[in-house]
Chain A
Amino acid sequence: MPQFQDFFINQELKETAKEFGWSSESIECSVKIIEADDWGELKQKINKNRESYDILAFRGGDHELNRKAFSTPKMDVVLHPEKGRKDSGMNHVDAERAAENNVAIGFSLQQVPETGKRQSQILTKWRKNLKLCEKYDTPYIITTEAEKKSEIRRPRDLAAVTKSLGSEGNNPVSKYPDEILKKNLKARKNSSNYSGVEVVE
Chain B
Amino acid sequence: MKQIPPAIQESYRYLKFKAHGEEKSIGDVVDAVWDSAIAYMGTEGVSDADIWIIGNKFDKEKQEGVIKVKSRKEDSLRAALTLNNGFEDESFLSVKRVSGSISGLD
Query: If the complex has contacts A109-B83, A114-B84, A157-B95, are A150 and B90 also in contact, measured as CB distance less than 8 A?
Result: yes
What are the residues of chain A within 8 A of B92 when measuring CB–CB?
Answer: 150, 153
Judge if A93 is at the interface, Cβ distance under 8 Å.
no
Q: Is the CB of A115 within 8 A of B39?
A: yes
Given contacts A20-B94, A115-B39, A156-B95, contact A150 B21 (CB under 8 A): yes
Majority SS at the chain A contact face:
helix
Q: Which among A29-37, A38-46, A54-62, A159-167 touches the partner chain?
A: A159-167
| Structural contact, B79 and A164, CB atoms closer than 8 A | yes
Tally of contact residues, B, Cβ under 8 A: 19
In this complex, how many residues of chain A approach chain B with their Cβ under 8 Å: the count is 19
Verify if A112 is at the interface (C-beta below 8 Å from B). Answer: yes
Evaluate whether A157 and B91 lie within 8 angstroms (CB atoms) in the complex, with A109-B83, A112-B83 already known. Answer: no
**Across chains A and B, which 8 residue pairs bring their CB atoms closest together, nearest first?**
A160-B78, A150-B90, A164-B79, A163-B75, A161-B79, A160-B75, A157-B82, A164-B75
Q: Measuring CB to CB, which residues of chain A are less than 8 angstroms from any residue of chain B? A: 20, 109, 112, 114-115, 119, 148-150, 153-154, 156-158, 160-161, 163-165
